[in-house]
Amino acid sequence: MRVKLERPICFFDLETTGAKVGKDRIVEIAILKVNKDNQESQKVWRINPEMDISFQAIQVHGISNDMVKNEQNFQYYSNEIHEFIKGCDLAGFNAIKFDIPILVEELIRADIDFDFSKVRMIDSQVIFHKKEPRNLSAALKFYCGKTLENAHSALDDTMATYEVFKAQLEKYDDLEPDIDFLSEYTKRSNNLDFAGKIRIDADNDAIFAFGKYTGQKVLDVFKSDKGYYSWIMKGDFPEYTKKIFTKLKLSLINNK
């Protein structure tokens, strides 16, 4: 691979019970780890999500409720998954918008303290959509001249994403083979959380991106509306979003 790695990078893909980040769970996760010396290792976990897999999701990935009912839950594998990705950067196809937020929620539920603020994230879909706006199957055909025979199998999608990423680096001379550059290049927005409920404004302050306080600074609102933080904590928000709000709330208390 043309990019020089300062630390390992994990390409991964999830199959889930549905498409809602705060609600749905993982049923399969495949990870391909590329070490600094370009040596590769891969792991796949099939997981009991402890909830029904939606009909729409089954139509996409083909994993039924019966296929996972005897598998272990995410909590059982959480430490193993955490150890495999710890100290690594993360990459995937549509990862920043979907796969990483889902993984964050699962790790929080499993009481795994993983600091994603220190992880550089690369999304091959963003590179692809900026360069050639299509889907993963078309990307693999366009960049690699291959056909994705088993689309929506987690491992096949993960391997295809890795092949696309390597081909993108070879095709576009302006893509610097540097993780910091690629992470910045594939960044989707100025969101502070994965769900897009908190954003950074021109002053580098956290602002609300939803509800009656949209566009207002979070700390100013927490000062003026004492009950709003409690309302958020009781609401149907992703756990990672709540974690960021709690961090902001604590910074307000500690700076009194």
For CA atoms 202, 206, 211, 212, the dihedral sign is: negative
- Identified catalytic residue from 61, 82, 129, 152: 152
Neighbouring C-alpha atoms within 13 Å toward the C-beta of 68? 26
pLDDT for the residue numbered 133: 62
The whole-number pLDDT of residue 256 equals 64
Note the pLDDT tens digit of each residue in 132-174.
767 888 899 999 999 887 777 899 999 999 999 999 999 999 9
152 is catalytic: yes
Pick the CATH number of 9-185 from 3.30.420.10, 3.40.30.10, 3.30.420.40, 3.20.20.120: 3.30.420.10
Separation CA 149–CA 157 (nearest Å): 10
Q: CA–CA separation, 96 vs 207, rounded Å?
A: 20
Q: What is the pTM of this model?
A: 0.73
What pLDDT is stored for residue 189 in this prediction?
77
Ranges of CATH 3.30.420.10 domains, the chain: 9-185
Encode the chain (256 residues) as per-residue pLDDT tens digits: 889 899 999 999 999 999 988 899 999 999 999 999 999 999 999 999 999 999 989 989 999 999 999 999 999 999 999 999 999 999 999 999 999 999 999 999 999 988 888 899 999 999 998 887 678 888 999 999 998 877 778 999 999 999 999 999 999 999 999 999 999 899 877 889 999 999 998 899 999 999 999 999 999 999 999 999 999 999 999 999 999 999 999 998 877 6
Q: How far is CA 127 from the centre of its chain?
A: 16
Residues 199, 191 contacting (CB under 8 angstroms): yes
Q: What is the tens place of the pLDDT at every residue in 8-23?
A: 999 999 999 999 888 9
Q: From CA 116, how far away is CA 121, in angstroms rounded? A: 9
